């Protein structure tokens, strides 16, 4: 054993020379690695806040975030949200007309006034500013209702409060909160979040809007353009991000740093373009916003000068959980539409539900719903419990929810056939509206890099701790011995961690064992990639994307396991059905994870990745398809 430990030490010394302390630079949104700043760089490896998703990259199981399945709402909080459900559903059934709003490409004043009366413009704002002061999980339950009826009005509401004035709520000082929140909460004024520009989408650090301190020292002069801003043509108050000359205390060099500002339309110099013509979410207002020598008082800096990137990313991270909850509500509605049609439509003398191809679609939709809902409420409840390390899990919820919503809508339309294709069924509206959810608030491609790069850095940090131990092998003999035992057990196929198996209900222990095995394989795979690529792993997007997919499946499996375990232990009437959903999902997700982990080290897959690059390069050079037509012309 000691011999194998010494051998491991030699390997790791070579690893750390290659890794060069693994400095992944800046990655809150996992934008190109020149602008990466990970959320884990200053956090401990383990502890009560330890992320389950990040731990899996190091082959570790941090079960405290999921077992028992989190439930942060007390009885009073549950009663509060129960009382809000009927009024919100009644508003969508009797007041708001989503189909007409879609045709009008605008939300009626009647609907906006109805939302104001419901308190829908300030759902999470403290009561002292006039808000409802809902917890994240309560808010998520309302997101389910909103998405069930109209995603477009959800964008209007979210652009106003989830991101529009969320920065004031998170980073505003007391004067800023007292000045702005009451009128925003009442709906007397509307808010918008102004980040995206023509030359910068996911790469938020590359924005060109500038703010320069005026000679009087009392104002910043703001100039620039923002595009595709939700509520851009309606907003009275905007959270605007601009580059500001910045000099740190330990340097004479002046650089440009992103800074957040609270900007009022009434400051003058703020204009907007016409509403964009969009594929979906047509009733929401989307417009370009222009800033021409806008005088912004210095007291309207949000947070600190130079901290705008952090402000923007934390606003997005904080609001991302709501999308998963909304998608779970939408998927539930789509399943109801699908099963209603399948139970009643007769073809070839049999109801559609009697055909196995339809049964498979319905079953997969239900399994997907259980997974999306489990992840969404695990994340929101953990946020309500005060867990600080949830950013990767929130990104997982957004990716899983948006892609599952799209796929479920597609299958619903397929089950309904020609009926589903007609406008009257409303499925085509949801399909058009859904497409944007994989793009905004961090494209799913970028979020996959965010998930993977944060996870890989976590694993690198763990290995750096091992490096420190190897510098003093005698005093750290216990640590090195444990590592040797761990690797020996892995080599002969014995699990190093029984935590999930012990926490799972007896009926689910086989599923828990599969998840445990996949997590241990995950840790080994990431370690191999770090040994091979070192810090250059940040450029290996073929690999990172597949690691992210593995991470999404691993975290979702664990969330599903925890929820089904709770149902069984509490003897819920749905426990047997939840067990069936959970075991089936885990079986399939475990297989996907195994394939994804194998693909990042398999020679054939690596050859194919190289081929992808070659093919794309050749098509890029030809500016289109690089083959001749079958007819030659």
Which of 154, 186, 218 is where one domain is finished? 186
Cβ distance 162 to 193 under 8 Å?
Answer: no
Q: For the residues 574-578, what does the mean pLDDT come to?
A: 98
* Structural domain total, the chain: 3
Task: Give the C-alpha distances (Å, rounded to integers) separating 284 from 229, 277, 310.
Answer: 10, 10, 27
Tens of pLDDT, residue by residue over 368-422, are 999 999 999 999 999 999 999 999 999 999 999 999 999 999 999 999 999 999 9
Tens of pLDDT, residue by residue over 292-323, are 999 999 999 999 999 999 999 999 988 888 99
| CATH number of the domain encompassing residue 87 | 1.10.540.10
Q: Would you say residue 493 lies in a domain?
A: no
Query: pLDDT-based confidence at 247, cuts 50/70/90?
Result: confident
Same domain, 344 and 373: yes
Out of 202-206, 434-438, 564-568, least confident range? 202-206
Out of 131-135, 252-256, 326-330, 357-361, least confident range? 252-256
Same domain, 180 and 216: no
Question: Residue 485: is its pLDDT beyond 90?
Answer: no
Any idea how long the chain is? 633
**Long-range own/partner contacts, residues 484-493 (CB < 8 A, 24 or more apart):** 484/1, 484/2, 484/4, 484/5, 484/8, 485/1, 487/4, 487/8, 488/1, 488/4, 490/520, 490/524
Which of 143, 163, 186 is where one domain is finished? 186
User: In this structure, what is the dihedral angle of CA atoms 36, 391, 161, 177, given to the nearest 10 degrees?
Assistant: -80
Q: Would you say residue 298 lies in a domain?
A: yes
Same domain, 383 and 357: yes
> What is this structure's pTM?
0.90
Cβ distance 393 to 318 under 8 Å?
Answer: no
Parallel, antiparallel, or unpaired for β 255-264 and 237-246? antiparallel
d(CA 139, CA 327) in angstroms, rounded, equals 13
Identify the DSSP state of 35: G
Q: For the residues 161-168, what does the mean pLDDT come to?
A: 96
Between 86 and 440, name the one with better pLDDT.
86
Q: Would you say residue 514 lies in a domain?
A: no
**What pLDDT was estimated at residue 278?**
97
Orientation of helix 477-491 relative to helix 444-471, angle to 10°: 130
| CATH number of the domain encompassing residue 267 | 2.40.110.10
**What pLDDT was estimated at residue 475?**
53
Q: What is the CA radius of gyration of the chain?
A: 26
Q: Would you say residue 519 lies in a domain?
A: no
Q: For the residues 517-534, what does the mean pLDDT come to?
A: 95
Which of 254, 275, 305 is where one domain is finished? 305
Instruction: With H, G, I as helix, E, B as strand and everything else as coil, classify residue 277.
Output: coil
Cβ distance 176 to 262 under 8 Å?
Answer: yes
Give the percent of the chain with pLDDT over 70. 87
Orientation of helix 444-471 relative to helix 2-19, angle to 10°: 130
**What pLDDT was estimated at residue 24?**
42
Neighbouring residues of 160: CB distance < 8 A, sequence distance ≥ 6: 121, 184, 190, 191, 192, 231
Neighbouring residues of 523: CB distance < 8 A, sequence distance ≥ 6: 56, 57, 58, 59, 60, 459
**What pLDDT was estimated at residue 253?**
83
Tens of pLDDT, residue by residue over 466-478, are 555 555 555 555 5
Q: For the residues 249-266, what does the mean pLDDT come to?
A: 89
Same domain, 222 and 256: yes
Query: pLDDT-based confidence at 248, cuts 50/70/90?
Result: confident
Q: Would you say residue 67 lies in a domain?
A: no
**What pLDDT was estimated at residue 225?**
97
Same domain, 124 and 216: no
**What pLDDT was estimated at residue 447?**
96
What burial letters (b/e) apply to 491-516, b meaning 16+ CB within 10 Å? eeeebbbebbbebbbeebbebbbbbb
Q: Would you say residue 383 lies in a domain?
A: yes
How deeply is 414 buried, as exposed, middle or buried, from its count of CB atoms within 10 A (0-12, 13-18, 19+)? middle
Q: Would you say residue 397 lies in a domain?
A: yes
Token code pair at residue 362: 């319905």
Stated as kind and residue range, the H or E segment containing 211 is strand 210-213
The angle at the Cα of 625, spanning 622 to 627, to the nearest 5 degrees, equals 95
Catalytic residues: 441
Token code pair at residue 445: 């491609």
Same domain, 223 and 240: yes
Same domain, 320 and 430: yes
Tens of pLDDT, residue by residue over 8-52, are 444 444 444 444 444 443 333 334 333 333 343 444 456 778 999
Same domain, 228 and 343: no
Instruction: With H, G, I as helix, E, B as strand and everything else as coil, classify residue 105.
Output: coil
Same domain, 330 and 441: yes
- Residue by residue, DSSP assigns 227-265 as EEEETTTT-SEEEEEEEEEE--TT-S--EEEEEEEEEEG
Same domain, 396 and 319: yes
Identify the DSSP state of 283: T
Same domain, 322 and 231: no
Q: Would you say residue 435 lies in a domain?
A: yes
Same domain, 87 and 139: yes
Whole domain around residue 101: which residue ranges?
75-186
């Amino acid at each position: 054993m000691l011999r194998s430990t010494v051998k491991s030490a030699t390997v790791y010394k070579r690893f750390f020379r290659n890794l060069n302390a693994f400095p992944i630079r800046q990655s809150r949104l996992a934008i190109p690695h020149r602008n990466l700043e990970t959320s884990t760089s200053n956090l401990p490896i383990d502890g009560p806040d330890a992320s389950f998703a990040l731990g899996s990259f190091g082959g570790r199981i941090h079960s405290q975030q999921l077992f028992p399945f989190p439930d942060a709402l007390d009885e009073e909080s549950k009663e509060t949200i129960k009382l809000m459900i009927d009024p919100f559903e009644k508003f969508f059934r009797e007041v708001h007309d989503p189909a007409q709003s879609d045709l009008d490409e605008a939300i009626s004043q009647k609907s906006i006034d109805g939302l104001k009366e419901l308190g829908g413009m300030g759902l999470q704002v403290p009561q002292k500013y006039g808000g409802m002061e809902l917890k994240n999980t309560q808010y998520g339950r309302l997101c389910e209702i909103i998405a069930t009826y109209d995603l477009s009005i959800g964008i209007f509401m979210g652009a106003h409060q989830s991101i529009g004035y969320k920065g004031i709520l998170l980073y505003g000082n007391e004067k800023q909160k007292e000045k702005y929140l009451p009128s925003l909460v009442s709906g007397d004024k509307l808010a918008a979040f102004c980040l995206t520009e023509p030359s910068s989408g996911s790469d938020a650090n590359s924005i060109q809007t500038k703010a320069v301190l005026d000679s009087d020292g009392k104002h910043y002069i703001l100039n620039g353009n923002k595009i595709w801003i939700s509520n851009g043509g309606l907003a009275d108050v905007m959270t605007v991000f601009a580059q500001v000359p910045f000099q740190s205390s330990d340097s004479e060099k002046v650089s440009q740093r992103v800074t957040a500002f609270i900007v009022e339309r009434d400051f003058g110099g703020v204009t907007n373009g016409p509403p964009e013509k969009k594929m979906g979410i047509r009733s929401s207002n989307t417009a370009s916003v222009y800033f021409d020598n806008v005088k912004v008082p210095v007291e309207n800096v949000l947070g600190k000068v130079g901290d705008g990137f952090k402000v923007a990313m934390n606003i997005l991270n904080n609001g991302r959980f709501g999308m998963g909850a909304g998608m779970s509500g939408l998927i539930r509605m789509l399943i109801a539409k699908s099963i209603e049609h399948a139970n009643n439509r007769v073809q070839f003398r049999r109801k559609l539900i009697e055909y196995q191809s339809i049964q498979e679609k319905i079953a997969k939709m239900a399994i997907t719903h259980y997974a999306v809902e489990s992840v969404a409420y695990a994340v929101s409840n953990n946020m309500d419990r005060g867990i600080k390390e949830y950013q990767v899990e929130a990104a997982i919820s957004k990716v899983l929810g948006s892609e599952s919503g799209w796929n479920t809508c597609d299958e619903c339309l397929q089950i309904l056939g020609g009926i589903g294709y007609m406008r009257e069924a409303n499925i085509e509206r949801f399909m058009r509206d859904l497409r944007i959810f994989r793009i905004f608030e961090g494209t799913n491609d970028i979020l996959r890099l965010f998930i993977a790069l944060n996870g890989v850095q976590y694993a690198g940090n763990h290995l750096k701790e091992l490096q420190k131990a190897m510098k003093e092998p005698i005093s750290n003999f216990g640590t090195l011995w444990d590592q040797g035992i761990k690797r020996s057990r892995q080599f002969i196929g014995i699990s190093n961690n029984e935590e999930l198996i012990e926490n799972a209900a007896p009926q689910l222990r086989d599923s828990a064992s599969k998840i445990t095995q996949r997590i241990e394989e995950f840790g080994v795979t990431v370690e191999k990639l770090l040994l091979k690529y070192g810090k250059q792993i940040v450029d290996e997007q073929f690999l990172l994307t597949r690691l992210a997919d593995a991470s999404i499946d691993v975290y979702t499996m664990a969330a599903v396991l925890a929820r089904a375990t709770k149902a069984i232990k509490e003897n819920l009437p749905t426990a047997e059905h939840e067990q069936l959903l959970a075991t089936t999902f885990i079986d399939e997700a475990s297989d996907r994870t195994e394939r994804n982990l194998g693909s990042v080290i398999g020679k054939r897959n690596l050859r194919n990745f190289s081929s992808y690059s070659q093919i794309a390069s050749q098509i890029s050079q030809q500016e289109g398809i690089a083959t001749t037509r079958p007819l030659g012309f």
